[in-house]
DNA sequence: ACCTGAACACCGTTCAAGT
DNA sequence: ACCTGAACACCGTTCAAGT
């Protein structure tokens, strides 16, 4: 049954039907209702899988990056992007508007909160290590960083950047360029806010 | 008929049905097919409306901001956020995964490209005026800025930031905080790349 | 030019009934 | 415990037919 879920995610991200799932699983269209209360709860299960995969991507990348907080921060961002591009259908399911009412699925809600928690920890570590400025709170910097990475991933997955690939390369390259802009800031040094 | 579209966008963002649209318009379920080739083409029309509204929000904000390129840049970003929050259903339609095959609707494709073009112009102006660094190309800085603003808007519209509103305030406030982080950068001055 | 009405193949969901 | 088969109300789309 979980096997059926995987098969489905390979197919079209949405517009997929519960009846088609049942067909692939070799059962009747009514059989899934013994395992899931509704289509939404099946999609919720897929989303939860997706969040766990995303967290795994980030954790793996962080682990491979070693101990340096900045390296870990950048690796987590790249892990996020890599997940978005390799598991695009999961990503769309997780962040699409079609999305489920997260409030009704506590385990899903938990998983979706862990992402920001990781970012927060990384930002705090980078601030402690003297990499990041402390003029703004770790929450504010985390939100900015998360927005940037998530925005890039969303635009890419939605095909909004297709015409830029020629000039800037693939998502990983774009990620490095955008991360550099984010870390350094857009401002000329002379226009930057005074340091703490 | 266009009146019917507006009514629909007020209702649920998606999961809305062509038959329901026809019902509201007071015609049979088959009547819309004299005006739109398919449901997708109706949604495409809604998306195009959405992009034009978004561009109008950005243009209005820029105009109100006066001549200073930096003020115009920030105003455009705020206009983008304001559009996302006030026209959430349009925003979801435009950037959701459900989205239409933009390639098949040339006027929609055009409208969706104008956003980046505006950002590019603003970034170039800010670089010329000495506000922004020229170490990275205007395209790279534009992509970073767009990703950040779009990411924040997406996370907010998807309800991903609901638990942060208490700590950080509404979307406009978050936008200002995130814009500050983006402009100044995350890095401590000592870790920034050398200036040009 | 625009709309109707019936039809087709699909869908999510429910429920009695089977083993 | 898990599945079936029929049923219900819905959907997108098509097409002949009306004015």
The reply to whether A40 has its C-beta less than 7 Å from any atom of strand C is yes
- Suggest the residue from A158, A185, A187, A189 to mutate for an interface test with chain B (most B CBs closer than 10 A): A185
Q: What 3-state DSSP class applies to B127?
A: helix
- From residue B110, alpha-carbon distances to B35, B51, B73, B106, B175 in Å are 22, 10, 22, 6, 27
Interface of A with B in 28-57 (CB under 8 A): none
Q: What is the pLDDT of residue B118?
A: 95
Determine the angle formed by the axes of helices B138-157 and B171-184, rounding to 10 degrees: 150
Neighbouring-strand partners of residue A187: B132
Summarize pLDDT for B130-144 with one digit per residue, the tens.
999 999 999 999 999
Q: What is the pLDDT of residue B103?
A: 81
Share of chain B above pLDDT 70, in %: 90
Q: What is the pLDDT of residue B109?
A: 84
Q: What is the pLDDT of residue B153?
A: 96
- The span from the CA of B133 to the CA of A102, in Å, is 41
Neighbouring-strand partners of residue B187: A132
A146 and B CB contact within 8 Å: yes
- CA dihedral defined by A184, A187, A192, A193, rounded to 10 degrees? -90
Q: Could you say which residues 9-68 of protein chain B have a Cβ atom less than 7 A away from any atom in strand C?
A: 27-31, 34-35
Summarize pLDDT for A99-133 with one digit per residue, the tens.
678 888 888 888 888 999 999 999 999 999 999 99
- The span from the CA of A75 to the CA of B106, in Å, is 38
What stretches in chain A show pLDDT beneath 50? 196
Q: What is the pLDDT of residue A61?
A: 97
Which chain A residue has its CA at the smallest distance from B146's CA?
A151
Of B153, B168, B78, B76, nearest to B120 by C-alpha is B76
Q: What is the pLDDT of residue B93?
A: 86
- From residue B176, alpha-carbon distances to B34, B86, B179, B182 in Å are 46, 17, 5, 10
- List bases, strand C, within 7 Å of protein CB: 1-7, 10-16
Q: What is the pLDDT of residue B151?
A: 97
- CA dihedral defined by A115, A118, A123, A124, rounded to 10 degrees? 140
Cβ-defined contact of A92 to B93 (cutoff 8 Å): no
Single pTM value for the model: 0.92
- The span from the CA of B69 to the CA of B128, in Å, is 9
Q: What is the pLDDT of residue A3?
A: 62
Q: In which band, very low, low, confident or very high, does the pLDDT at B162 lie, cut at 50, 70 and 90? A: confident
Say if residue B139 is exposed, middle or buried (CB neighbours under 10 Å; 0-12, 13-18, 19+): middle
Cα B93 to chain center, whole Å? 11
The reply to whether B19 has its C-beta less than 7 Å from any atom of strand D is yes
Q: In which band, very low, low, confident or very high, does the pLDDT at B4 lie, cut at 50, 70 and 90? A: low
Nucleotide C1: closest residue by CA–C1'? B34
Q: Calculate the angstrom distance between C1' of C10 and CA of A17.
A: 10
Summarize pLDDT for B42-98 with one digit per residue, the tens.
888 888 889 999 999 999 999 999 999 999 999 999 999 999 999 888 898 888 766
């Amino acid at each position: 049954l979980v096997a059926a879920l995987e098969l489905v995610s390979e197919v079209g991200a949405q517009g997929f039907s519960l009846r088609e799932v049942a067909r692939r699983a070799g059962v009747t269209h009514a059989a899934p209702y013994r395992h899931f209360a509704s289509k939404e709860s099946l999609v919720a299960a897929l989303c939860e899988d997706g969040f766990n995969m995303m967290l795994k991507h980030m954790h793996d990348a962080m682990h491979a990056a070693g101990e340096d907080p900045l390296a870990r921060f950048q690796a987590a961002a790249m892990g996020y992007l890599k997940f978005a591009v390799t598991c695009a259908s999961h990503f769309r399911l997780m962040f699409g508007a079609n999305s489920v009412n997260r409030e009704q699925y506590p385990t899903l809600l938990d998983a979706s909160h862990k992402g920001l928690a990781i970012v927060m920890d990384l930002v705090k570590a980078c601030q402690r290590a003297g990499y990041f400025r402390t003029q703004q709170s770790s929450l504010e910097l985390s939100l900015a960083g998360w927005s940037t990475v998530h925005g890039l991933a969303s635009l890419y997955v939605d095909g909004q950047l297709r015409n830029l690939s020629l000039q800037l390369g693939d998502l990983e390259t774009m990620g490095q360029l955008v991360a550099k802009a984010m870390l350094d800031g857009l401002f000329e040094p002379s226009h930057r806010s005074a340091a703490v």
